[in-house]
Amino acid sequence: MTLEVKTNNAPLMEVRNIDKSFPGVKALDDVSVKFYPGEVNAVVGENGAGKSTLMKVMVGAYKQDRGTIHFQEENVSFNHPIDAQKMGISIIYQEFNLLPERTVAQNIFLGREPSTFGVVNVRQLNKQARSVLKEIGVDTMISPTALINSLSVAEQQLVEIAKAISMDAKVLIMDEPTASLTSTEVQLLSDLISRLKEKGLAIIFISHRLAEVFEVAEKITVLKDGQYVGTAKTEEVTPEDIVYMMVGRVLDHYFPPLGSPEDFGDVVLRVEDGSNEFLSSINLELRKGEVLGISGLQGSGRTELAQALFGAEPFKSGSVELQSKTVSIKNPSWAIKQGLGFVTEDRKSEGLLLMQPIRDNILLALRSLQPLFGWIHPDGIRQSRKLVPTLGEQVDIRVDSYSKEVQDLSGGNQQKVVLSKWLASKAEIFIFDEPTRGIDVESKASVHDLIRELTIQGVAVIMISSELPEIIGMSDRIIVMRDGTIGGELPAESSEADIMLVATGQDNSNSAEPS
Amino acid sequence: MTTGTISAKNLKQAVQAIHIPPVYYFLVIITLVGITLDQLFAKGNILSNPVIMTNILVRSVALGIVAVGQSFVMIGAAIDLSVAFTISLTAVLASQLMQGDPARVPMAILIVFGIGIVIGVANGLIVTKLNVNPFIATLGTGLIIKGILNGTFANYKGSVPKSFQSFGYDSLGPIPISILVLLVVVIIGWFILSRTKFGAHLYGVGGSREIGRLSGLRTARIVTGAFIISSLTAVLSGLFIVSRLGSGAPWVGPDGVYDLESIAATVIGGTALAGGRGGVFGTLAGVLMFGVIDTVFNQLGVDTYLKTVLRGAIIILAVASYSIRSGREAA
């Protein structure tokens, strides 16, 4: 299990003239890229640019229609992902391929358990797992016998990396590895990546976060509409250059202009001293027409705050005023009736019915307002036929039919479906939890535009985000969460440093224990 | 490390390491309630009576053996509804083939196990190659077996020789042979699940078909293997039943509700309906729970219909208690 890979000037892996079509779409069109050992090559591009398809071709999950794959200068072909793995090409998907009910060791060596006559040598299994974990320097953090479901997302990712290393990976592909990590965890990951790089691995890093791409990658490869645009050396380009390559135009502003104070109206939501098992003494006000950004580290109570406001995990004490009336938000269904909309962080598990068509997803929140045994739309089905395309256009969902199942859509389009669902319910207070996680630059910009448009129409928005640029670019006011309470409030256009100081408790505002 | 005192923390860790399925706590509760009822209404004559205790265990044998097989299938994220009819088929064919002649016993046993393998392979192939949902696939094969049985045999046919009945009635020392057989089946089941590659791969495929595939597991073979094990345990159950009855009839399987009861026992034992989690010791406890409940209720003369209602309620209560404990859906 050594990580020795010959380092020379030849590419470790290369794809040449790859074509791949799916019914109705040409996903890859004559794509050629070279990947060198000891180098991080970030592959970027909008959703639908062909990144995932290319990766799947490279690991044998898809078979290309045309073109060749070369590994260590030999022409290779894979009939099954296992062929690629055996050769040393591993991928870590965004959604981990780990069995939650099994141990770390069982997961790392699934299908490759040390055994004699079919009987697994458990001692050996755990020993080997420990040595792999040691090799990537996390043996003190993760025990081979720990169950996967007891680990954090970051730890699970380390297990995935350990699994790849145990397969003697020479090429390691990571699909959005940082999407759900906190900044300390991202640091840990990028340290690990540089160690792997030193050992001569070729690392392919897919990410939407350009800041991180610029931090970890030596080279950036851009795909657009299934075509290869180019590979640039990171030191020779700026993020703007890359964005230009990705979208084919300069995005002169990532964010729409902030609201001006005269646009802000009455207080529509006020919480005084709200507390529950996750939160304590929450005091906040939300005005009509403003975007209130909520920042904070992972686990600081950001999402819990949103869930409390939406009634999913209600406040147990304190008072909530909605449109100047004292209320208690007991459950989401009541919250929806009062005009709250909640765009969740985890679209797949909380925001969408994946196997239902777009149309029904859009109408879901609206229908929940209606009596259980009434017509499915107050004005009947005909009206909803008109409503769905109108909303679809408003949020710019790009599909040929609204009868398509949501699971077949790209991440950006899925998020737009969630948005139109709440638009349909005519919510007056929107809570966005990570509205642009895992979606591409262009969809991001249109989601941001839409959020701002909502506030111009008089909607009040609470936006939770772990991406500081998004918080800064969008928020008219910023609340920073820390240890389940509000660590501080900052004005619009505060700097990343200001926010981080409050989030980590380094500001002088109070004497909270340093974490 | 092994100095005298054991702290509470160490004990807790030890308990976690052994990983006692929560169903055992439930089994203890049920038994305690049974003892209380026993003391109150039967002056402690039920559970202190060795004959009745043995009876609880023997009653659990048929269900226990087939439930071990069902656990395999369910850990593989499938379900086997055909077991009840496999049991009937075995019972009828075994007595038909043996014709009371001890010399024909080995031949008959070989044939019924052979048929069990065929049924298991058929279930497995229908599920993995024709991509039919396991519920429907095994419902279908079950109906096919049922139709053949009902069309061919209307009543008790043939009989098993006296020597074969020792499987059902004899004891080895104080312990009935049938209970030893059940224990052996459970231990083999445990060994396969927790110590063999097949077991590890079954958990893998059951946890996620896609992860299994990406890890290079032969998912179709593994699932088919689980179905074969399930059919083989059904055959063994059928043999046990016919050794008790002396002669097989087409209704012995469905009348014992071995399909649904084996599923219920497995789920009560902590195996997830969605697959990927569980084990045979939990299933054994689930089966014993049924045994205790049935025996206590029977001896107390609880009305049959009321008994069924109480059983249903206990199943729900048991599974609900796990999901409340773990804060997620348990089955």
Residue B195 has pLDDT above 80, yes or no: yes
Report pLDDT for B1: 40
The pLDDT-based confidence of B258 (bands split at 50, 70, 90) is: very high
A328-342, A376-390, B8-22, B187-201: range with lowest mean pLDDT: B8-22
- Whether B255 has its CB under 8 Å from any CB of chain A: the answer is no
DSSP string, A320-335: EEETTEEE---SHHHH
Helical (H) or strand (E) element with B146:
helix B134-152
In a domain, B328, yes or no: no
Of A61, A82, A118, the CB nearest to B216: A82
Which two structure tokens, joined as six digits, stand for B165? Answer: 């009945």
Q: A176-214 pLDDT, tens per residue?
A: 887 677 778 888 888 889 889 888 899 998 886 777 888
Q: Is residue B22 part of a domain?
A: no
For residue A420, is pLDDT > 50? yes
Cβ–Cβ below 8 Å for A97 and B217: no
Residue B2 is assigned to a structural domain of this protein: no
Pairs of CB atoms within 8 A across A/B = 64
Q: For residue A368, what pLDDT is reported?
A: 66
Residue B5 lies in a domain: no
Residue type, A208: H
Q: Is the pLDDT of residue B179 over 70?
A: yes
Q: How many domains does chain B have?
A: 1
Helix, coil or strand: residue B56? helix
Q: What share of chain A has pLDDT > 70, as a percent?
A: 88
User: What is the three-class DSSP state of A230?
Assistant: strand
Give B-chain residues touching A106 at CB under 8 angstroms.
200, 203
Average pLDDT (A472-491) is: 90
What would the mean pLDDT of B300-316 be, rounded to a whole number? Answer: 86
Phi, psi angles (nearest 5°) of residue A273: 55, 40
DSSP letter (8 states) at residue A371? -
Q: What is the mean pLDDT of residues A492-507?
A: 77
Work out whether strand A89-92 and strand A171-175 pair parallel, antiparallel, or are unpaired: parallel
CB atoms within 10 A of CB A507: 18
Confidence of residue A463 (pLDDT cuts 50, 70, 90): very high
Closest chain B residue to A164, measured at CA: B215
Distance CA A157, CA A149 (A): 12
Contact B197/A113, CB-based, under 8 Å?
yes
DSSP A350: I
- Does residue A279 contact residue A479 with C-beta atoms inside 8 Å? no
**What residues contact residue A21 under an 8 Å CB cut-off, 6+ apart?**
A27, A65
Q: Per the CB < 8 Å rule, is A110 touching B196?
A: no
Q: Give A269's strand partners.
A: A286, A322
Q: Comparing A157-166, B67-76, B231-240, B294-303, which segment has the lowest mean pLDDT?
A: B294-303
Alpha helix ranges (H) inside A219-294: 239-247
pLDDT bracket for residue A511 (50, 70, 90):
very low
Give me chain A's average pLDDT, please.
83
Domain span at residue B208 reads: 48-318
Which of B196, B204, B210 is opposite residue A118, by nearest beta carbon? B196
Measured distance CA(A298)–CA(A307) in Å, rounded: 15
pLDDT at A106 over 90: yes
Q: Dump the DSSP string for A56-108.
A: HHHTTSS--SEEEEEETTEEE--SSHHHHHHHTEEEE-SS----TTSBHHHHH
Residue A89 φ then ψ, to 5°: -115, 115
Write the DSSP symbol of residue A351.
Answer: I
Q: How far apart are CA A82 and CA A201, in angstroms?
A: 19
Q: Taking the CA atoms of A327, A328, A329 and A333 in sequence, report the sign of the dihedral they define.
A: negative
CA A103 to CA A112: how far, in whole Å? 14
- Give the model confidence (pLDDT) of A9-25 as tens digits: 788 999 999 999 876 56
Instruction: Give the confidence band of B189 by pLDDT, cuts at 50, 70, 90.
Output: very high
Most confident of A34-48, A469-483, B105-119: B105-119
In this structure, of A120-124, A458-462, B109-113, B324-328, the range with the lowest mean pLDDT score is B324-328
A97/B211 CB distance under 8 A: yes
Is it the case that residue B5 has pLDDT exceeding 60? no
> Is B71 among the domain residues?
yes
Cβ <8 Å between A99 and B216? no
pLDDT band at B151 (very low <50, low <70, confident <90, very high): confident
**Of A140, A139, A144, A101, the residue nearest A122 (C-alpha):** A144
Is residue B7 one of the residues assigned to a domain? no
Strand partners for A280:
none
Q: Does residue B25 surpass a pLDDT of 90?
A: no
**Average pLDDT across chain B, whole number:** 86
The residue ranking higher by pLDDT, A302 or A105, is A105
In chain B, residues 195-254 whose CB comes closer than 8 Å to chain A: 195-201, 203-204, 207-208, 210-217
% of chain B surpassing 90 pLDDT: 46
In a domain, B32, yes or no: no
Ramachandran area for residue A24 (φ above 0: left; ψ -120 to 50: alpha; else beta)? left
pLDDT digits (tens, 9 = 90+) for A261-308: 787 888 999 999 999 888 989 999 999 999 999 988 777 888 889 889
Cβ contact B214–A97 (<8 Å): yes
Q: What is the CATH number of the domain that holds B61?
A: 1.10.3470
Quote the CA–CA distance of B73 and B312 in Å, as a whole number.
Answer: 23
SS3 A144: coil
In a domain, B159, yes or no: yes
Look up residue B238 and give its amino acid.
G
In order of A417, B244, B301, the CA distances from B292 in angstroms are: 53, 20, 14
pLDDT value of position B182 = 94
Q: A-chain residues within 8 Å CB-CB of B272?
A: 101
**CA angle centred on A297, ends A292 and A299, rounded to 5°:** 105
Residue (of A323, A318, A321, A342) closest to A331 by Cα position: A342
Please tell me whether residue A433 adopts helix, strand or coil conformation. Answer: strand
What is the predicted pLDDT for the residue at A5?
Answer: 43
